[in-house]
Structure 1
């Protein structure tokens, strides 16, 4: 009887291990792998863009020749940036945010992490394209007000109009 009970418990434990993990760290790592593959496949398919990776973050930036801006700007989390931008989902091309004649200002420390890493790659007047994995944007949180699904890999075209420290 005890052997049957032990066998039944082992069987249940084995079947329980087959379930999808609910561990947030495991889910984060799985999504990070998915995002990194999406971006690296895109970069490989578009070598003419000369995308560069920022450290080990998974965020890539593209600065067109002659569009990096000018000056010797210092960026901190309290730097105010004035920008014009278009934000799209990389995989679908859906535009979820766009400025036109209005150029909003943000404190660099208050924007998504992908912007915090990528905007310092240019100077005042510069233009940059950022490819941002979901973990450096909105992660597993959908942004319903702008119709942005959870875990979206984002593509931003940003022009930096002004920097204030």
Structure 2
């Protein structure tokens, strides 16, 4: 009798472990996508003087002010190295989570967040771009504790491009 109870208990535990979550990752992704889109749309409505352009259907917006496009001919690839100065803020709060002051780091374009991969090619060396990046093109649902960045943060980057190397 005890063996039968143990077997039934084990079967109950196994069956209970197989129950799927009520919210699939795709549903969560789409819900956050809508939230991010609303945050950016509200921001752009409140700041209607910004001449923001959307990059394809990504939800990433960029702003390049007149005279700040940079100069030269550049071909961007995933292995392109970019030397930049930047300030990164959370769009909703204005909290600065990252900033370069006196140094200008160099990154391989293919190794930075997707929002940068899409936004930096909008300018040339010497140019400045402002990027409004939905969370899915930044760090997504993963908090970045080392820089005090909550999960699903919509980001606002000011980037100055100093050099491009292929």
Matched residue pairs, number? 146
CA distance in 2, matches of 1:63, 1:22: 39
RMSD of aligned alpha carbons: 0.9
4+ residue segments displaced more than 2 Å = none
Residue in 2 aligned with 1:14? none
Query: CA deviation digits over 1:104-150, x for unaligned, max 9?
Result: 00000000000000000000000000000000000000000000000
CA distance in 2, matches of 1:49, 1:162: 26
Please show how residues 1-165 of structure 1 align to structure 2 within 5 Å.
Answer: 21-165=22-166
Q: In 2, are the aligned partners of 1:89 and 1:154 still within 8 Å (CA)?
A: yes
CA distance in 1, matches of 2:123, 2:47: 21
1:49 Cα deviation after fit: 1.1
Residue in 1 aligned with 2:18? none
1:47 Cα deviation after fit: 1.8
TM-score of the superposition, structure 2-length normalised? 0.86
CA distance in 2, matches of 1:109, 1:40: 28
Residue in 2 aligned with 1:12? none
TM-score of the superposition, structure 1-length normalised? 0.87
Residue in 1 aligned with 2:8? none
Residue in 2 aligned with 1:13? none
Q: Which runs of 5+ in 2 are unaligned?
A: 1-20
Q: In 2, are the aligned partners of 1:59 and 1:130 still within 8 Å (CA)?
A: yes
CA distance in 2, matches of 1:146, 1:52: 28
Q: In 2, are the aligned partners of 1:21 and 1:27 still within 8 Å (CA)?
A: no
